[in-house]
Structure 1
Amino acid sequence: MIRICQLILLALLGACGAQPAPLMFGGARHETTVNGRDYVLYRKDDRVEVIRMGWASSGEHQEIRATMIEIVPWLTGCDVVPSSVQGDSGEMRARVTCPKGLR
């Protein structure tokens, strides 16, 4: 019985998809696909979090991270503050600066 409950819990967790970090709860959610790879971006105030969906091989991580930085202005209209970028090709967080109308 415990084994069945564990399997059900695992299946439910797998169906959750991209969830933001607690700091980003309530932020605007954006989704996009670039070069066949799906990304989910959350923006809240002057912060963004970008999550890559799916698996990536070891040789793809540098390109994926660059793509994650590039999609921020496409989806939000705000620029990434380069010195604030943290994370890897699976999940990246950064501060952004936005034109006056997008704050």
Structure 2
Amino acid sequence: MKQLIPLIPLVFLAACGASPAPEFFGATRTDVTVNGRDYTVFQKGERVEVIRLGYAHRGEHQGIRATMIELIPRVTGCKLRESTLTGDSGEMRGSLDCPKQP
């Protein structure tokens, strides 16, 4: 039993799923499943971060990246400024153009 005690915190960390980059601490978090794959979207102001959860096989990355880009306006209600997009099929970040609130 003593040998298992150090592993307990790791189990809790693994259960938390995606964690945002420091820039997105305090951001709105949305968990989404598309085609059986899980993603987490963090939005803070006019910045967005999308994280893919789980393993991706060779040949899946281009489709995953396209799905991540499609998720951004659907989840945030804002338009992605495509020229600001960085990252890959595991994690990407970008800037948004959001409608002004009245």
TM-score, normalised on structure 2?
Answer: 0.88
Which runs of at least 4 in structure 1 moved beyond 3 Å after TM superposition? 2-10
Provide the rounded CA distance (Å) in 1 between the counterparts of 2:26 and 2:93.
Answer: 16
Residue 50, structure 1, aligned to residue 69, structure 2: no
Provide the rounded CA distance (Å) in 1 between the counterparts of 2:23 and 2:84.
Answer: 16
DSSP-derived class of the 2:101 partner = helix
Q: For 1:19-38, what aligned pairs fall within 5 Å after superposition?
A: 19-38=19-38
Q: For 1:78-97, what aligned pairs fall within 5 Å after superposition?
A: 78-97=78-97
How far off its partner does 1:56 sit? 0.7
Provide the rounded CA distance (Å) in 2 between the counterparts of 1:89 and 1:16.
Answer: 20
2:76 alignment partner in structure 1: 76
Name the structure where helix makes up a greater proportion of residues: 1
- Deviation digits for residues 37-77 of structure 1, max 9, x if unmatched? 11110000110000111111011001101110101111111
Provide the rounded CA distance (Å) in 2 between the counterparts of 1:77 and 1:33.
Answer: 17
| Distance change in 2, residues 1:11/1:66 (3 Å) | same
Q: For 1:1-20, what aligned pairs fall within 5 Å after superposition?
A: 4=4, 7-20=7-20
Q: Which sections of structure 1, spanning at least 5 residues, go unmatched?
A: none
TM-score, normalised on structure 1?
Answer: 0.87
Name the structure where strand makes up a greater proportion of residues: 2
DSSP-derived class of the 1:83 partner = strand
Aligned pairs, number: 102
